[in-house]
Structure 1
Amino acid sequence: MAGILTCLWKYRNYIVIVLTPLLLLPLPLASPTSEAKCGYVIILMALYWCTECIPLAVTALLPVILFPMMGIMESNEVSPSLQQSHILINHFLLEWDDICVFSSVIQVCIQYLKDSNMLFIGGLLVAIAVEHWNLHRRIALQVLLIVGVKPSLLMIGFMGTTAFLSMWISNTASTAMMLPIANAVLQQLCDTEANAEEREFNMAAAKNGLDNQAFEMGDAKMSKELQSKENTINLDKDDSNGIISSLEAQQRRLKTEQKYTKLTKGMSLSVCYAASIGGTATLTGTTPNVIMKGQIDELFPDNGGVINFASWFGFSFPNMVLMLALSWLWLQFMFLGFNLKSTFGCGTKKEGDREAFQVIKDEYKKLGRMSFAEGCVLTIFTLLVVLWFTREPGFIPGWATLLFNKDKTYVTDGTVAILMSALFFCIPSKLPRCCGRSEDGASSEAPAALLNWDVVHEKMPWNILLLLGGGFALAHGSEKSGLSIWLGESLIPLQSIPPFAISILLCLLVAMFTECSSNTATTTLFLPILASMATAIEIHPLYVMFPCTISASLAFMLPVATPPNAIAFSYGNLKVLDMAKAGFILNILGVITINIAINTWGVAMFNLNEFPSWANVTKTP
């Protein structure tokens, strides 16, 4: 029996791939409607995503196959441009039915390369350039040099730096870069403190020995016999004292190492948690944020650009800072305690601080002076952020509206991202020297550009683009098949529940679900359902979609929940229980913080107390 179970476990992926569609087949057969067929595809993809029996990106491509074959994209949805091209296509001997099938495929495929995908590509190209020229490492070390190496300040320094980097580069990259630095600094602090205590202990023991000798030499009244006897006894005492001293020294060192082992656990968790929290602050910080913007634009095309880089930052950045502060307080309590004298460095040795500080300083010196390439990358990055903020700030007309079109904004955040990221392929990485010579005297070649396609191809996560497209295709299929309206009508009884309670319950559900599934898949599955629910019970879609999107990044409890957790688990000598205890409280704090944000400044920013006219899309498909 055990052998059979072992064999089944080895082939579990193939079993899931084959059995899942067969077991779900009664759904479209018993109810051959468009809604049931679309539900079949969504459930199938959800199970494939949760089990990861095939790569996530391949699962995201299933709508390209299943939607046209199951008739979810109906033949009468042919785009006007295809209808006008009917005569042209007939020259290639295509029948009209074939054209309709062809258009159905196109209707699905265009979901895989929308404006949100372009925004994501542009943001990733900037992140790749920053990593390629080590600019993120220079920023991190410079911040740590300012913060110092006191235990509590060191933790908030690492958390703040990691969160800032995660706003612009991937959470995984920022965690992988910061953890080795944190471990090196803590190891130096541990060794220095242990050596300092050992030296102090030896000096105290030597001082006590000198005091005894002076006392014995000053006792002139003692006879030679008593002196020799007493000396013999003293020798025995010295031997026993030496053993005791050695044991005490070992116990002190062991205690110091245990203290820093606990501190290392806390520091490792603080870095990976800060990476996940920091990614929520910007629109391009993590994939779920981009998915939400794409879903809003897909499901509510008349929303007027309610979500852009500036509006997202305005809402999420204060929430990120609050979550980061609460996370620091909890990790401080759990791993350091609230002894200000020890954790803020009032009682630590100055020598230990200097040596640990020197570790960071040496790492910074290895980077050398800022190169021309780093300066260019920093300039382009700064310009990109400024253009994002000022494109359409909301309270005043942005530059895109003033310069290009006053009635309709054609320039989007994706346009700006691609424009600025394209400069990396046009600007040389070194100052051009027309008369430069190489070492052998020959004329030197022109310097390479800041980025080349080989670097981009190696570091670009192409699978995420397919995941984004798969999510947009699911949303489009749900809308066209009528599944969204059916779900909305089924959820109308929720009108009797207060909106804030609905938001809290949904955030807890998403936060639990994302521990077992990727945050990308979680957001892709939940957002279309949440949008349907919001329109059915007539609450602002952002009131539930925004908190749940951020909650999808609250994957704090398990090492497999997100790559930053896995990296920290391998570095910090952590146990699953350590991460689960710390992460459970942080999940609760995160949900509370998000709902405080959405019910305070979120209401003021997005007018969430009213059901917007652009969200009233309950039309018969």
Structure 2
Amino acid sequence: MKFSHSLKYNAVPEWQEHYLNYSQLKRLIYSLQAQELHVVDNSGQVNHERLNALEGSTKALRKFKQKFRSKNGAKNAASRSSDDGEADTEDVNVETLELDDLKYKKGKQTDFERRSSLSSDRTLFSAQDTFLSKLSDERAKIDDFYKKLEAQLYSRFNTLALDLHQMSAGARRRSSVVAEPQMGTGARRRSSVVAEPQAGGHDANDSLDVTSSAAARRASRRESVLSRRNTLNLEAEDEEEEDDDDYDGHAFENTALLNYSDFNVKSQKRSILRKNLIDLYVDLVQLKSFIELNRIGFVKITKKFDKTLNCNVKQELIESAQFFKGVYVFQSETFETLDSKIAKVIESYASMTSGDLASCKEELRSYLRDFIVWERNTVWKDMLGLESHNNTFTSAGRPDANGDISKLDNITSLEYRVWHLPRPVKIGSWTWSRVQIPKLFFTLKAYKLYFIIASTIILLAVPTFNDPAQHRCMALVTCVAFLWASEALPLFVTALLVPMLVVTFKVLKTDGEIMEAADASSWILGKMWSSTIMILLAGFTLAAALSKYNVAKVLASYLLTIAGTKPRNVLLMVMSVCFFLSMWISNVAAPVLTYSLIQPVLKTLHYKSPFARSLILGVALAANVSGMASPISSPQNIIAMNYLKPYGVGWGQFFAVALPSSILAMLLIWVLLILTFKINDVELKKYTPIKENFTLKQYYVIVVCLGTIILWCVESKIEDTFGASGEIAVIPLVLFFGTGMLSTQDINNFPWSIVILAMGGIALGGAVQSSGLLATIAGALQRRVMDYPIYAVLLIFGIVMLVVGTFVSHTVSAIIIVPLMQEVGDKLSGSKAAPILVFGCSLLASCGMGLASSGFPNVTAISMTDEVGNRYLTVNTFITRGVPASLLAFLCVVTLGFGIMNSIL
């Protein structure tokens, strides 16, 4: 595994910015390599053409540097033997460089002396100085952060040591009270302080040292006050223990009945201390990994620097430990102290659980693995990591397979296509011997943009409608639709372009007249921020809270436990879990969360295993059909609810139609997967649930989420109070972010590209409606379908929606087609036509899942890989199962869904 990936996977997310910035240092190295090539040519002058002349490989660089040094060495010798005694400035500097290097290698000059001498004596560019300066900054950053973090954790360590000392002292007093009942209270109290017996075979000081004697004395005084209460309650405890003897331990095995020993104060205190020991162990081990990971990072980055620029920094500074002298975090004493603290935590845990040291150590490591798997990241961080993993660009600044140095710095450098002219062209003082055009103008994305721009210009030049505003609006819609469909630009970038294009194309009208640019700009920008966007943000907020506080994972793990060990049952339960999660935390985030839940199962299966492939694909397809199950499960539903509101369709009616249709579709897809994948020969182990007692914060999350959903469901009854669903959406935002349950980092991790895409869709819909284009197209379609029954109209446009949703994202297809369905429905006879068409088409937008690019769940699924990077699914897998699944979901909506819609709307 590349170290950049190892650093990403092993770094504690909350400490991310305090690790060695490996990627930035890599970019710096390649940038320094490029700059060094630009410094001088054989004549001692800067030669900007040298970079294009070399291939850029490390081998070519080394040859060039050796050639450069040998020639300059010869020139230095010649200049020293010349009569005038003068030397070229560049030659003197090269000589100084070589002398300094010799001193440095012999140990006569320290790193900092060398850097100061170089900065004062040398005029040549020094890549090593620049690199070492940046490396020193990283070292100081890491050291400062470690000191602060260590102080916090060691403070917790000392506090926990005090608590354990108190518990051990209390146990000794209990033992002395039982052994000497005739002793007075004061005598018992005095003897408890100096008592010798050990609880569980260990003294408290054998497990965790109490660093402050004053703190120990305060603890003893507190314990002596409590001992009187313990003595008074001793008889009552003995009675309880006698009552407990009536229980038959074998008869009540595996039962929920509790006795006194399960819920008394002493037992709960032990449980709390045990949990604190586990938490402290996890934090201390992560602190240790912080040191190890950064030390490895320094070794790796200096190795890369030496290899790229032909230096010896790794051996001279890192392996000799000279670079780490005086740096607290990398001292051996620091590491040994941390190791001893971890060892004492393990010993203390063993003494509390009365287990042997080896088994307790393995148990704590198991807790550590569970913490990393389940609790380290919120779902949004997982999604961002997945998006980064799928980025088509490799690590920034890395040379390509051909060693092209022009790619060494992707931020500032460009690749060029070069055409040499037959003869130089002179214009004044300028001379051209060749033509250079950046290669980015010849990429596939560039060709897509050329086609879209040309199509838009043609549509603007050729009248398509009698009304000029509608004519320009048609060109605008075509341009935006092509950009979204081809993804020549990222979807959210196109969405950001929409308001600007609306104003410049002059398509907005007021009272039949074209709006002025200033008025049009205010109108379209105001249109983008609406109640729909607020509901979308509220949905992401609920998802972040349910994920961050483990509510969704814990509930989902118990559901998976019910499945047993039969593969078909496990597949159905996994799909049901994803379906359920998608309803409340959106079908964008739910697949990521579900995949993390089934990782223990996937790790035991080969990536070509039919069962592993059915699990991955089942999660994606379940998330797709669940995208129509609730109003907040997908962006297209939120947009559709905005168009359904005028017809009185609320959350209750939405659930009544969408939930049965989507459940039936999921069951049919489950049967399809069972028939097309041979999964019955797989042996599985029973899934273990995540056992976690909910805290007050987790119950708070559940109450706020349920309360928000209930308010949305009864919105029509409380419209006079809140006005719109977007106002209700403010409640979870305030209750979670205002109380500190969610932080600024959580809102920064929201998928803002989806929010921007929805805003662009709303703006486009408003522009098409304002220009009158929507009414004109709807009128033309209405004349063609006016004689058809509403069911036939739904089938026609449903197929269109299904096809568009398969090749374009579900949200984009809903943005384009749903407003048109509203206009067509309003012009047809019957009050149910418009809501049925809008409702049906919005549900069918989620049914297009025949390609790997059809919707966010499919994109997530095709990106899933095993531990060595092998993909579970292929595009062919989606075509052979996704297309039939799309047709099954389509049939569910146009049969069961249409029947319910026709009866309740």
Partner of 2:843: 550
Whole-Å separation in 2 of the counterparts to 1:167 and 1:482: 36
Q: Is 1:599 equivalent to 2:898 in the alignment?
A: yes
Residue 882 of structure 2: which of 580, 583, 604 is its match?
A: 583
Distance 1:370 1:543, change over 3 A: same
Whole-Å separation in 2 of the counterparts to 1:185 and 1:506: 41
Contact 1:310/1:388 (<8 A) preserved: no
Contact 1:183/1:264 (<8 A) preserved: no
Partner of 1:380: 704
Which letter does structure 2 place at the counterpart of 1:557?
G
Whole-Å separation in 1 of the counterparts to 2:516 and 2:609: 65
Distance 1:72 1:186, change over 3 A: closer
Contact 1:24/1:44 (<8 A) preserved: no
Partner of 1:309: 651
Q: Is 1:263 equivalent to 2:589 in the alignment?
A: no
Following superposition, the deviation at residue 527 of structure 1 comes to 1.4
Partner of 1:490: 780
Other structure's SS at 1:538 match = coil
Which letter does structure 1 place at the counterpart of 2:658?
S
Other structure's SS at 1:11 match = helix
Other structure's SS at 1:496 match = coil
Contact 2:485/2:807 (<8 A) preserved: yes
Distance 1:186 1:32, change over 3 A: closer
Distance 1:417 1:310, change over 3 A: farther
Whole-Å separation in 2 of the counterparts to 1:543 and 1:529: 13
Contact 2:545/2:736 (<8 A) preserved: yes
Contact 2:847/2:889 (<8 A) preserved: yes
Distance 1:479 1:32, change over 3 A: closer
Residue 157 of structure 1: which of 573, 586, 589 is its match?
A: 573
Q: How does 1:479-518 map to 2 (within 5 A)?
A: 479-491=769-781, 492-518=783-809
Residue 690 of structure 2: which of 361, 364, 388 is its match?
A: 364
Q: How does 1:339-418 map to 2 (within 5 A)?
A: 342=680, 356-357=685-686, 360-361=687-688, 364-365=690-691, 368-392=692-716, 398=717, 400=718, 405=720, 410-418=722-730
Residue 475 of structure 1: which of 736, 761, 765 is its match?
A: 765
Contact 1:76/1:100 (<8 A) preserved: no
Following superposition, the deviation at residue 307 of structure 1 comes to 2.7
Contact 2:849/2:883 (<8 A) preserved: yes
Other structure's SS at 1:561 match = coil
Whole-Å separation in 2 of the counterparts to 1:63 and 1:9: 23
Which stretches in structure 2 are left out of the alignment for 5+ residues? 1-418, 420-438, 865-870
Contact 1:130/1:136 (<8 A) preserved: yes
Following superposition, the deviation at residue 316 of structure 1 comes to 0.7
Q: Is 1:289 equivalent to 2:615 in the alignment?
A: no
Following superposition, the deviation at residue 127 of structure 1 comes to 1.1
Distance 1:582 1:467, change over 3 A: same
Whole-Å separation in 2 of the counterparts to 1:383 and 1:323: 29
Deviations 1:2-54 (A, max 9, x none): x9999453633543464343233224598562211111111111011111122
Whole-Å separation in 2 of the counterparts to 1:286 and 1:509: 20
Q: Which 4+ stretches in 1 moved above 6 angstroms? A: 3-6
Q: Cα RMSD (Å) of the superposition?
A: 2.9
Following superposition, the deviation at residue 425 of structure 1 comes to 2.0
Partner of 1:112: 528
Contact 1:295/1:472 (<8 A) preserved: no
Whole-Å separation in 1 of the counterparts to 2:626 and 2:665: 9
Following superposition, the deviation at residue 547 of structure 1 comes to 1.6
Following superposition, the deviation at residue 186 of structure 1 comes to 5.0
What TM-score comes out, normalization by structure 1 length? 0.68
Whole-Å separation in 1 of the counterparts to 2:446 and 2:554: 47
Partner of 2:873: 574
Partner of 2:496: 61
Contact 2:553/2:597 (<8 A) preserved: no
Distance 1:556 1:488, change over 3 A: closer
Distance 1:63 1:6, change over 3 A: closer
Q: How does 1:213-362 map to 2 (within 5 A)?
A: 261-296=609-644, 303=646, 306-336=648-678, 342=680, 356-357=685-686, 360-361=687-688
Partner of 1:43: 478
Contact 1:519/1:553 (<8 A) preserved: yes
Distance 1:106 1:599, change over 3 A: same
Other structure's SS at 1:61 match = helix
Q: How does 1:526-541 map to 2 (within 5 A)?
A: 526-539=817-830, 540-541=833-834
Partner of 1:442: none
Whole-Å separation in 1 of the counterparts to 2:568 and 2:579: 16
Q: Is 1:421 equivalent to 2:733 in the alignment?
A: yes
Which letter does structure 1 place at the counterpart of 2:786?
Q
Which stretches in structure 1 are left out of the alignment for 5+ residues? 79-96, 191-256, 298-302, 393-397, 428-448, 607-621
Q: Is 1:129 equivalent to 2:545 in the alignment?
A: yes
Deviations 1:259-304 (A, max 9, x none): x81111111111111111112111111000011122345xxxxx25
Whole-Å separation in 1 of the counterparts to 2:859 and 2:902: 36
Distance 1:498 1:61, change over 3 A: same
Deviations 1:475-525 (A, max 9, x none): 222222221221122111212333222212222221121222111111111
Which letter does structure 2 place at the counterpart of 1:294?
N
Partner of 1:456: 747
Whole-Å separation in 1 of the counterparts to 2:464 and 2:850: 40
Whole-Å separation in 1 of the counterparts to 2:714 and 2:440: 60
Which letter does structure 1 place at the counterpart of 2:444?
W
Other structure's SS at 2:812 match = helix
Partner of 1:148: 564
What TM-score comes out, normalization by structure 2 length? 0.48
Whole-Å separation in 2 of the counterparts to 1:423 and 1:143: 28
Which letter does structure 2 place at the counterpart of 1:364?
I
Distance 1:180 1:131, change over 3 A: closer
Whole-Å separation in 1 of the counterparts to 2:840 and 2:468: 33
Whole-Å separation in 1 of the counterparts to 2:826 and 2:569: 46
Residue 565 of structure 1: which of 841, 854, 858 is its match?
A: 858
Deviations 1:81-124 (A, max 9, x none): xxxxxxxxxxxxxxxx9x95322222211210111111111121
Partner of 1:224: none
Contact 1:294/1:472 (<8 A) preserved: no
Deviations 1:421-458 (A, max 9, x none): 3101233xxxxxxxxxxxxxxxxxxxxx1011221112
Which letter does structure 2 place at the counterpart of 1:476?
G
Distance 1:9 1:468, change over 3 A: closer
Contact 1:289/1:550 (<8 A) preserved: yes
Residue 166 of structure 1: which of 564, 582, 586 is its match?
A: 582
Whole-Å separation in 2 of the counterparts to 1:426 and 1:139: 26
Following superposition, the deviation at residue 172 of structure 1 comes to 3.3
Other structure's SS at 2:708 match = helix
Other structure's SS at 1:574 match = coil
Contact 1:309/1:389 (<8 A) preserved: yes
Contact 2:632/2:638 (<8 A) preserved: yes
Deviations 1:372-415 (A, max 9, x none): 332221221122222222333xxxxx3x15xxx4xxx6532222
Contact 2:452/2:479 (<8 A) preserved: no
Contact 2:470/2:771 (<8 A) preserved: yes
Other structure's SS at 2:872 match = coil
Partner of 1:208: none
Contact 2:440/2:446 (<8 A) preserved: no
